[in-house]
């Protein structure tokens, strides 16, 4: 089946052909020039442009060469300056070594100082330990001294009680002996050596206890920290002596006759 073109398509084609034919003019039809297209340069202009570019390139090369020479000169001056500075440093270093050969021996000097400091610290630590040990020994002696005094006082009290018990027993025995004296008046009396020794030890103990009591009584007054206690002690003794009543006076007798 042959397909026929539609009526609208023929009409659009006809209109486009008609519009293009209306734009053409009678005679020679030349193509229109583009408005924005620049004109082509001439040969003289091209030669002048080439000369300008060559001159510009030459000036750029000259500037690059000048910059390279400037950089080389600057680098050369910097090297010379550093060399002169290094030489001065070496000369100063040599002069310092001539004055003091150990001026740059930092490690050796630090080691010596550190060893001296450590030795001094060890000495100080030992001294401190000795002082602490001496203080502890002194404190131990001070603590041990009251303890020994306390033990001695307990021993004296125990000895005193034992002696008092023995005295009581001896008095009771003496009463019994007095009661039995009438029965054994004609008999000889014998005392053993052990009993004699015991009596002598008791008399010696009595004397020691009496002396110790006297010292304790004296120390109670003289070892007071404040004079107020001492004066109060004297005051008490004075008051006690005043309370002792004197013996009554004898009444006066009148011998004259009434």
What's the per-residue H, E or C state across the chain? CCCCCCHHHHHHHHHHHHHHHHHCCCCCCCCCCCCCCCCCCCHHHHHHHHHHHHHHHHHHHHHHHHHHHHHHHHHHHHHHHHHHHHHHHHHHHHHHHHHCCCCCCHHHHHHHHHHHHHHHHHHHHHHHHHHHHHHHHHHHHHHHHHHHHHHHHHHHHHHHHHHHHHHHHHHHHHHHHHHHCCCCCCCCCCCCHHHHHHHHHHHHHHHHHHHHHHHHHHHHHHCCCCHHHHHHHHHHHHHHHHHCCCCCCCCCCCCCCC
For residue range 79-98, list pLDDT tens digits in order. Answer: 888 888 888 888 888 888 88
| pLDDT for 132 | 86
Mean of the per-residue pLDDT values of the chain:
68
| pLDDT for 29 | 55
| pLDDT for 202 | 76
pLDDT over 90 percentage in the chain: 0
For residue range 178-223, list pLDDT tens digits in order. Answer: 776 666 666 656 667 877 787 788 788 778 878 877 877 776 655 5
| pLDDT for 133 | 85
pLDDT band at 42 (very low <50, low <70, confident <90, very high): low
Q: What is the pTM of this model?
A: 0.23
């Amino acid at each position: 089946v042959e397909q026929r073109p539609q009526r609208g398509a023929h009409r659009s084609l006809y209109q486009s052909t008609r519009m293009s034919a209306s734009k053409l003019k009678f005679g020679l039809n030349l193509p229109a020039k583009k408005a924005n297209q620049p004109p082509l340069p001439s040969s003289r202009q091209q030669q002048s442009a080439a000369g300008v570019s060559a001159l510009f390139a030459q000036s750029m090369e000259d500037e690059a060469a000048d910059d390279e020479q400037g950089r080389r000169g600057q680098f050369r001056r910097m090297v010379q300056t550093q060399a002169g500075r290094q030489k001065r440093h070496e000369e100063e270093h040599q002069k310092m070594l001539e004055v003091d050969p150990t001026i740059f021996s930092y490690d050796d000097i630090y080691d010596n100082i550190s060893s001296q400091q450590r030795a001094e610290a060890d000495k100080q630590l030992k001294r401190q330990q000795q002082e602490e040990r001496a203080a502890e020994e002194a404190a131990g002696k001070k603590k041990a001294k009251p303890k020994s005094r306390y033990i001695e006082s307990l021993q004296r009290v125990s000895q005193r009680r034992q002696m008092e018990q023995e005295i009581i027993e001896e008095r009771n025995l003496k009463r019994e002996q007095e009661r039995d004296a009438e029965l054994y008046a004609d008999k000889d009396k014998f005392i053993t050596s052990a009993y004699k020794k015991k009596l002598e030890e008791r008399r010696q103990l009595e004397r020691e206890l009496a002396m110790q009591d006297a010292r304790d009584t004296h120390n109670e007054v003289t070892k007071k920290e404040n004079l107020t206690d001492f004066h109060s002690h004297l005051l008490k003794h004075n008051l006690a002596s005043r309370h002792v009543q004197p013996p009554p006076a004898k009444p006066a007798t009148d011998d004259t006759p009434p």
